[in-house]
Amino acid sequence: MANGNENKKNAKSFKWVSKLGFGNVEEIDTIPNPRDDDVLIIVMGPTGVGKSTFIQKVTMSQDVVVGHKLKSCTRDLSWHQLPESQTKGFENRRVFLIDTPGFDDTFDDDSQILKRITAWLAKSYSSQMPIAGIVYMNDITQKRMFGSTRMNLTMFQKLCGEESFQKVVMATSQWDTLSNESIGTAREEQLKTNFWKDVLDGNATYMAMKEEDSLTAIINHILATYRMIEQGHLMVAETLKIQDEIVVLEKSLPATSAGQELRYTLQELMELQKAALKNVHDEERKKAIEEKMKQLGDQVSGLKMSFSERFRRFFRFGK
């Protein structure tokens, strides 16, 4: 009888698999032989900010592929285990850092990146592997907050949800490439008081990746915070928002906050491309813009909610 109840529980917990377009859960490649006491630390941010380099240094692993060009070297999510010497307080437990692709990936469209990240997080949640924290990285050498950088930040917020911000470390990287540290200090202040203000006001922590020791300090901070959460000293959401929406609430990807945000962003990009097309006379350039518009249109179509979801949403907000 217990086996029957367990099968029903598993069927419900993996009900989201087909909604994300997978035939079975084995198609989603995550940590093999998961344990319910495994600890995950998710590393997010735009392409080129140094996510893979950070992971390589703190795990001391040579298996991490590090890019040195503008092209993304992280197409799929990958996991890398921390050595036991860096898991103080979590002895006999496995701690993994999860490398994620940015939403400005050079190989895959953004809707596929969202689907891939969502599926990985949903399977991890269904396998009862808790997320101890999230590191969100930004390149301090960037003079402006470009469109792709803004999109990565917004998507990160929608995936996490405000209730998880206390488990987040907002980190600036590439300090060693600055010609003058005062330039970075000014940009750091702009991030903290403007672009990152909402996340930091939600009790996220800011840390700068200036020296080698600061990388380890980020991991130590996340593990210490998570230890307090496990001991009941801090009340923080156990799941990320996207995990709750997909696994618990059984929403389709287009109906999630992240799915809706990405759809709106892609629609805005389509309008910009459409406006630019009016002023282009070069046939080759015009063809390239039209192809880009078609790709964006295909992504938008894939992120449209079903009629039943739009119907429920209309009456929920109409009350």
pLDDT of residue 11: 45
Q: What is the predicted pLDDT for the residue at 108? A: 67
Cβ neighbours of residue 141 under 8 Å, at least 6 residues apart? 174, 177, 178, 184
Last residue within a domain, chosen from 223, 244, 265: 244
Return per-residue pLDDT of the chain as tens, 319 residues: 344 444 444 544 788 998 888 888 888 989 989 988 999 999 999 999 999 999 999 998 766 655 444 444 456 899 999 998 888 889 889 999 999 999 875 556 899 999 999 999 999 999 899 999 999 999 999 887 777 899 999 999 999 999 999 999 999 999 999 989 999 999 999 999 999 999 999 999 999 999 889 999 999 999 999 999 999 999 999 899 999 999 999 999 999 999 999 988 888 877 887 888 888 888 888 888 888 888 878 878 888 766 455 545 555 554 4
Does 9 reside within a domain? no
Number of folded domains that form the chain? 2
* Domain stop point among 207, 224, 244: 244
Whether residues 213 and 262 fall in one domain: no
Q: Which of 215, 244, 273 is the last residue of a domain?
A: 244
Q: Assess if residue 288 is contained within a domain.
A: yes
- pLDDT number for residue 269: 79
Same domain, 185 and 260: no
Same domain, 156 and 213: yes
Could you tell me if 86 and 117 lie in one domain? yes
Both 149 and 205 in one domain: the answer is: yes
Sheet holding 39-44, edge to edge: 78-81, 95-99, 39-44, 131-139, 168-173, 205-208
**Which CATH number is 92's domain given?**
3.40.50.300
- Assess if residue 217 is contained within a domain: yes
DSSP state string for 105-171? -SSS-HHHHHHHHHHHHHHHHHTT--EEEEEEEEETT-SS--HHHHHHHHHHHHHH-GGGGGGEEEE
- The whole domain housing 235 covers 15-244
Query: Is residue 166 domain-resident?
Result: yes
Q: In this structure, are 126 and 262 located in the same domain?
A: no
| Co-location of 146 and 260 in the same domain | no
In a domain, 158, yes or no: yes
> What pLDDT does residue 298 have?
82
Residues 255 and 153 in one domain: no
pLDDT score, position 136: 98
257 and 228 part of one domain = no
Are 145 and 202 in the same domain?
A: yes
**Looking at the structure, do residues 85 and 143 belong to the same domain, yes or no?**
yes
Other CB atoms within 10 Å distance of the CB of residue 139: 18
Q: Is 7 inside a domain boundary?
A: no
Question: Whole-angstrom Cα distance, residue 185 to residue 198?
Answer: 20
Indicate whether 56 belongs to any domain.
Answer: yes
Q: At what angle do helices 257-277 and 110-126 cross, to 10 degrees?
A: 170
305 and 259 in a single domain? The answer is yes
126 lies in some domain? yes
